Amino acid sequence: MTKLLLVDDDTSLADTVSRYLTQTDHYVVECAHTGEDALALMLTYDYDVIVLDWGLPEMSGLDVLNQYRDRAGKARILMLTAKSELSNKEKGFNAGADDYLTKPFTVKELALRIKALLRRPTEIVSDQLAIADIVLNSKTFQVTKSGVTVELTRKEFALLELFMRYPNQVFSQDAILDRLWKSEADTSADAIKVWIKRLRTKIDNDDTKLIKNVHGVGYKLEPPGR
């Protein structure tokens, strides 16, 4: 599931945008309201897109962007700003911004620009994944097993998509939490076990167990025959 960081000191605007992106596009959206908090999150967690306001107090969005790129941060960054002059846009792009949206803006335009950035991955990402008799479509949020639709919750779907995109890769409980939950979410490692158990009851057969425990490390999806 796509995870975004929205950085803006206007908490009302951030709440409005976050709610729209969560409800309309089903993203996991995390918010920060200062440059210091934003940079700490950006250097700790993985985000698919970061929406970064230029005019932050104390530490500007441009300073955040410079420090993030200097530390090899690779997430796509869309700058929000009231600065419409070409020279300011040039500064943003030279610092490593991927797109630039001038305030005031409509939330729908922001959503379209985020989708455009997500279509520019470093590798081709398919909407449809298939392993064994499980087929997952990330665009339609549909999962089938042997052609029959499987009803999953959003978190179950996100877990399955993560495992299917990276078969045989082991994910620790902390890595799963970092990827699929907001950092301030009150979710424990025990909760991950519960979600894994629920997902297994929906996708496993008696003779085929796709999600495997790696003792002392975490979980992985192992395609049959491996």
Identify how many contiguous H helices and E strands the chain contains and give both numbers: 8, 11
CA distance 22 to 119: 18
Phi, psi (degrees; rounded to nearest 5) at 142: -120, 140
Rounded to the nearest 5 percent, the helix, strand and coil shares of the chain are 40, 20, 40
Task: Please state, in angstroms and rounded to a whole number, the distance separating the CA atoms of residues 91 and 95.
Answer: 6
Range in 23-27, 119-123, 147-151, 199-203 the model is least confident about: 119-123
Which comes out higher in pLDDT, residue 35 or 121?
35
Give the confidence band of 124 by pLDDT, cuts at 50, 70, 90: very low
Q: Say whether pTM exceeds 0.75.
A: no
Please say if the pLDDT value at position 156 is more than 80: yes
- 180 within 8 A of 27, measured Cβ to Cβ: no
Task: Work out the percent of the chain whose per-residue pLDDT is above 90.
Answer: 55
Find the mean pLDDT for residues 45-71.
Answer: 91
Evaluate if residue 125 carries a pLDDT over 70: no
Q: Is the pLDDT of residue 70 over 90?
A: no
Task: Map out the domains of the chain with their CATH numbers.
Answer: 3-118 (3.40.50.2300), 128-221 (1.10.10.10)
The whole-chain average pLDDT of the chain stands at 88
